[in-house]
């Protein structure tokens, strides 16, 4: 099984295919690399090599209990070490939810390393507050599998409660205890100045599901207008916060079309 040791964490990652274009996919909170399995299976193997790590505290990566390890900038630093360790260049970076914040923060710190950026269900760069009762529920999910399953089902309303869904619940239940609340706090504290966003001219795609109850379309539109390199917001109909799981074929096709066009334009 592939692992990579960074300065602070041992990371597990999935790898598929052996095409010339590297793609790195970053999952969100309560998730693992398993969330990207449909995408990994659908991207053409002759065109892409896709990597999907488990972020610290999740899946098979180190289960850190240090809250500071879940800060968006700290996770972006870990991803920078992963990218360096795998020697990835001209990379297509894809992030979902918390992973989108991490991807955006990575780009701000390493503007010359990427070929494109895809942001899926992106939190607000001006902070996403969680009320005190929300934190209480997050803590309760540590020991209440039914509540945890209900929460995951609410962010993927178009996904059936099948065996694969149960494996996602199992993964979430097995994450580090700190990972139940620290990512919410991290997104509450995350800030990116609009002036910094306006410096981003890398080809950028935004993807959002029209049944998303976590991030609103208005926020996605504002982000689209704030990033000069972003010229399209792809709205996937009939799915919520997790389009890569709810509409995997449509999601993979949109992603493939975008990064394929970026590659062809650069040739």
CATH number at residue 216: 3.40.50.1820
| Rounded average pLDDT over 255-266 | 81
Q: What is the mean pLDDT of the segment spanning 4-9?
A: 93
Domain count, the chain: 1
The average pLDDT across 208-215 equals: 96
CA atoms within 13 Å, Cβ hemisphere of 244: 30
Look at the alpha carbons of 130, 131, 134, 138 in this order and tell me if their dihedral is positive or negative.
positive
Spatial distance between the Cα atoms of 71 and 150, rounded to a whole number of angstroms? 26
Q: What is the pTM of this model?
A: 0.97
- Domain span at residue 148 reads 3-266
How far is it, in rounded angstroms, from Cα 212 to Cα 134? 18
pLDDT at residue 44, as a whole number: 93
Q: What is the DSSP letter of 108?
A: H
List the beta bridge partners of residue 5: 10
With cut-offs at 50, 70 and 90, classify the pLDDT of residue 135: very high
Backbone phi, psi, residue 170, to 5°: -60, -45
For residues 2-23, give the mean pLDDT. Answer: 94
Instruction: Tell me the sheet residues that pair with 49.
Output: 22
Return the pLDDT at 18: 83
Residue 266, pLDDT above cutoff 70: no
What pLDDT does 47 receive? 93
β pairing state of 10-16 and 3-5: antiparallel
């Amino acid at each position: 099984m592939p692992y990579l040791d960074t300065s602070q964490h041992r990371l597990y990652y999935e790898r598929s295919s052996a095409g010339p274009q590297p793609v790195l996919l970053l999952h969100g909170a309560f998730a693992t690399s398993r969330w990207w399995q449909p995408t990994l299976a659908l991207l053409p193997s002759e065109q892409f090599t896709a990597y999907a790590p488990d972020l610290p505290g999740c899946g098979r990566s180190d289960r850190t209990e240090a809250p500071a390890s879940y800060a968006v900038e700290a996770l972006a630093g870990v991803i920078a070490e992963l990218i360096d360790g795998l020697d990835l260049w001209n990379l297509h970076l894809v992030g979902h939810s918390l992973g989108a914040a991490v991807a955006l923060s990575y780009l701000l710190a390493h503007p010359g390393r990427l070929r494109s950026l895809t942001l899926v269900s992106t939190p607000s760069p001006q902070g996403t507050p969680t009320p005190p009762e929300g934190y209480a529920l997050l803590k309760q999910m540590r020991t209440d599998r039914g509540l945890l399953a209900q929460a995951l089902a609410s962010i993927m309303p178009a996904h059936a409660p099948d065996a694969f869904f149960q494996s996602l619940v199992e993964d979430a239940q097995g994450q580090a205890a700190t990972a139940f609340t620290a990512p919410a706090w991290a997104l509450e504290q995350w800030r990116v100045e609009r002036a910094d966003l306006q410096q981003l001219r890398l080809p950028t795609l935004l993807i959002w599901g029209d049944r998303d109850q976590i991030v609103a379309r208005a926020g996605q539109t504002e982000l689209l207008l704030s990033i000069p390199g972003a010229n399209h917001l792809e709205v996937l109909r009939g799915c919520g916060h997790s389009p890569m799981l709810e509409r995997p074929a449509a999601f993979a096709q949109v992603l493939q079309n975008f990064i394929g066009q970026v590659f062809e334009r650069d040739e």
